[in-house]
Structure 1
Amino acid sequence: MGVVPTNQWLEEDFYQPVKICDRLTAYFNGQKPNRIYEQLLNFGMYKPTREAENVFKTLQKKIIWEKVDRLYHKYKSKWEGKEVPVFIFPVNAGGMLFRRNTQRKSGVSYPDKLFLFIPELDDPKELEALFVHEYHHVCRLNEMKNKMEENTLLDSMILEGLAEHAVSVSCGEDYLAPWCRQYSEKELMQYWDKFLKDKLEIKKREKSHDDLLFGKRAVPTLLGYAAGWNLVKKHYQTNPFSIKKSFSLSSNVFLKKF
């Protein structure tokens, strides 16, 4: 599989993203194209504007599809990772919360597919950091026993923390997402007691899961992400592990040192 030629889809139907999503129905168990588009919009897929079209043209000039394909084969081989299709689209640069960094790139991963939503990037390491983060998700999700909707808040926090650990190892600490440094240790301890410690078993399907992970309804922004990174970082300091090992480590292991 690897990188799907979505650049060809965009050339044909850029201003009809729902029509583009009609090509994705087989990857979403027959969901309707408009529902798929709504879902992907939430994670950063472009809206059909002239600005987004200019981004697409820049991505083509920078041969982003070819570069991502090389990254895919590099890390699939290095990590002995899952073979999945990779879909690339321009990012929606406005009106959403970006989890990666201020360069406003984003993505979403599933056990069987991966989406990257990309802006005009000047630093190739930023592209690699995005890919590493999302492909690590794919690899870990395939090792987790639960269905995605059965994962707990702790599972989601550790999933994010481990993906950033992979970025740190593969690309360097300069490419960590800002939420890794967003809160001080003191703040995280206070927020842990106030918001998280009694809610770690909440399932992904429950509404409060996303409130705590992303930071909604008076919860600090991206608190679950930041706390997940902190748990992973603390554990790694005393119990180093390889990236391959991180795919299968139990989420509960990371609570032992907290």
Structure 2
Amino acid sequence: MSVKETRNMLFTFVERCEEQDGRGVETLQREIICDPVMKFFPDINSEVIQYELLKNGLFEPTEWKSIKKILRELEVKNIWDIVKQEYKYLRELWDGPKVSIYIFPIKKESKQRSKDFPRKNGIAYKKVLFLFVSPDLTKEEVKALVAHEYNHVCRLKFIDFPPAAISLNESIIVEGLGEFAVKQLYGKKWLAPWASMYDLEEVSKIWKRHFVHALQIKGIKNHQLFLFGQTNTPFPKWIGYHIGYQIVHTYNKNRGPFVMKELLLKSSDEIIAGSDFAI
């Protein structure tokens, strides 16, 4: 397990698209990009894998004409080497598990959502990590992405539950730990904007009114509204991510300081109880 040579997969994808004059690009993406990772997901098919990766940032199949240029730009930035070095460093620092890491271009922003469209994203599972990146990322931004997502892998190893059995309180703490790892390693400058998006008084009301009674809701798919928020609901944008970070931050302030290796092994209940969001 290591950082995979996804450049070969991507060049093959583009070459096949050229051979077929852009026909069947969705199928080609599934065969070349998604089928090789099915070994990590024995209970689901490649269509589901493709859907999940696209939802989380994988480039759209119709973007195939721009992939070669993006790859050259990513190579100039040494993205694969940066990720390899950071993964090795973090695995030793946190005594983390081995994981396979796949790096792909992130989908292009659309004009309708360009203001909030991410330039980087990732999705973590116990044995595999997917990173979606833009060529204009700085080295520090890439390292922060790796730290946040690999931290998830380490936490998932500790809690050892399938996605359907993970409770909301754990989902919140998973995200909080991931971003707090970025702060510990690189400082506030590289935190995501949602970490400081709201003030404590405002968030405390939302926490007590809408989160506390729902903390045992199980299944990651049932946590999306709480984590991401939604317009015209009691849940503002990125609210669960913000709360998760603030819980971990205030727990460390109140009861710590702790190194991340210690925080990863503490229960969600303990972290919440010692934070400014104690129930």
Question: TM-score when scaled to structure 2?
Answer: 0.85
1:2 is paired with a residue whose SS is coil
Larger radius of gyration: 2
CA distance in 2, matches of 1:203, 1:132: 26
2:136 is paired with a residue whose SS is coil
Which residue does 2:8 correspond to in 1?
Answer: 8
Residues 116-155 of structure 1: per-residue CA shift (max 9 Å, x gap): 0000134210000000000000011001142222111110
1:213 aligns with 2:227: yes
Which residue does 1:249 correspond to in 2?
Answer: 266
Q: Give the Å deviation of 1:93.
A: 3.0
Which residue identity is paired with 2:5?
P
Q: Check conservation: 2:11, 2:68, Cα contact below 8 A.
A: no
CA distance in 1, matches of 2:54, 2:226: 21
CA distance in 2, matches of 1:112, 1:235: 29
2:98 is paired with a residue whose SS is coil
When residues 9 and 249 of structure 1 are mapped into structure 2, their CA distance, relative to the original with a 3 A threshold, is same
Q: Give the alignment partner of residue 84 of structure 2, picking from 69, 73, 76.
A: 69
Q: Give the alignment partner of residue 41 of structure 1, picking from 30, 51, 54.
A: 54
When residues 97 and 220 of structure 1 are mapped into structure 2, their CA distance, relative to the original with a 3 A threshold, is farther
CA distance in 2, matches of 1:186, 1:51: 46
Q: Which runs of 5+ in 2 are unaligned?
A: 18-27
Q: Which runs of 5+ in 1 are unaligned?
A: none
CA distance in 2, matches of 1:59, 1:30: 33
Aligned residues: 255
Q: Give the Å deviation of 1:222.
A: 1.2
Task: Give runs of ≥4 in structure 1 deviating > 4 Å.
Answer: 95-98
1:23 is paired with a residue whose SS is helix
When residues 31 and 255 of structure 1 are mapped into structure 2, their CA distance, relative to the original with a 3 A threshold, is closer
CA distance in 2, matches of 1:26, 1:8: 19
Q: Give the Å deviation of 1:30.
A: 5.7
Q: Matches of residues 48-197 of structure 1 in structure 2 within 5 Å?
A: 48=61, 49=63, 50-94=65-109, 104-197=119-212
Percent same amino acid at aligned positions?
31
Which residue does 2:36 correspond to in 1?
Answer: 23
Q: Check conservation: 1:168, 1:175, Cα contact below 8 A.
A: yes
Structure number with higher helix proportion: 2
CA distance in 2, matches of 1:18, 1:145: 29
Residues 232-256 of structure 1: per-residue CA shift (max 9 Å, x gap): 1111112121111122110001222
Which residue does 2:238 correspond to in 1?
Answer: 222
Q: Check conservation: 1:52, 1:91, Cα contact below 8 A.
A: no
Q: Check conservation: 1:210, 1:216, Cα contact below 8 A.
A: no
When residues 215 and 103 of structure 1 are mapped into structure 2, their CA distance, relative to the original with a 3 A threshold, is closer
Which residue does 2:20 correspond to in 1?
Answer: none
CA distance in 1, matches of 2:205, 2:70: 41
Which residue identity is paired with 1:38?
Y
Q: Give the Å deviation of 1:157.
A: 0.5
When residues 132 and 205 of structure 1 are mapped into structure 2, their CA distance, relative to the original with a 3 A threshold, is closer
CA distance in 2, matches of 1:124, 1:92: 20
Q: Give the Å deviation of 1:163.
A: 0.8
Q: Give the Å deviation of 1:179.
A: 0.5
CA distance in 1, matches of 2:211, 2:148: 23
Question: TM-score when scaled to structure 1?
Answer: 0.92
